[in-house]
Amino acid sequence: MAGKRTLIGWTAGLLLVATAGFAAAGNAGLLPDVRTRIADTAGIRGFDVDCTYNALSGGLAVAYPAWNGAPARVYTRPWICTAVNRAYRRSWRGADRTGKTAYALLVLTHEAIHLSGYPGARDERLTECEALRLLPAVARRLGAPEQMVPTLEMWAGQAHAKLVREYPSYGGGCEDSGAGR
């Protein structure tokens, strides 16, 4: 855990320099409004989001609970923040055309659940199931038009299926929890 934290801290710091140019283009982070609304929906007090995550492991994001005075923080890949920021800024125009926004929303919701009091928050499968269940509420809270919500759910389901094909340990959570989908 300590080793991982150091590696990620170092990676994020290095990338911050490399991507400083993007900050001017509005890629500095997740919009505070977006962050607050996701936190509210997931039932957490708040969290920081660092959008410069670029793990060699191929992971998309990682969540660290508040620890020793440091706030809870999610590290995630730049495209995830960019996709959700853009959908929010443009009032979701065109956001259902590709699965990218839904996938990004699923990842951020998943990480927020890891930081929440949800009983399955330390289990990947249960967290993933809860993220799928919560996704429509998160989309609505971020202003997604009602008629777009089923499409976002469909895309999120496809992203989930793809994830499970690659990482089977993320699958089957809904069956286990009895939530059923």
Q: Which residues bind Zn ion (CB under 5 A)?
A: 124
Nearer to Zn ion, 48 or 124 (CB): 124
Query: Within 10 A of 36 (CB to CB), how many other CB atoms are there?
Result: 14
Q: What interhelical angle do 124-141 and 100-114 show, nearest 10? A: 120
Q: How far is the CB of 62 from Zn ion (least distance, A)?
A: 8
Nearer to Zn ion, 35 or 125 (CB): 125
**Residue 110 Cβ, how far from Zn ion at the closest point, in Å?**
5
Q: DSSP labels for 144-164?
A: --GGGHHHHHHHHHHHHHHHH
CB of 123 to Zn ion, least distance (A): 9
Residue whose C-beta lies closest to Zn ion: 124
Of the pair 40, 124, the CB lying nearest Zn ion is at 124
What six digits make up the tokens of 175? 């069956």
Residue 15 in contact with residue 54, Cβ under 8 Å? yes
Cβ nearer to Zn ion, comparing 119 with 143: 119
Q: Would you say 84 or 129 has its CB closer to Zn ion? A: 129
The CB-of-63 to Zn ion minimum distance in angstroms stands at 7
Closest distance of CB 55 from Zn ion, Å: 13
Q: Do the bridges between strand 48-50 and strand 73-76 make them parallel or antiparallel, or are there none, so unpaired?
A: parallel
DSSP 3-state percent helix, strand, coil across the chain (nearest 5): 60, 5, 35
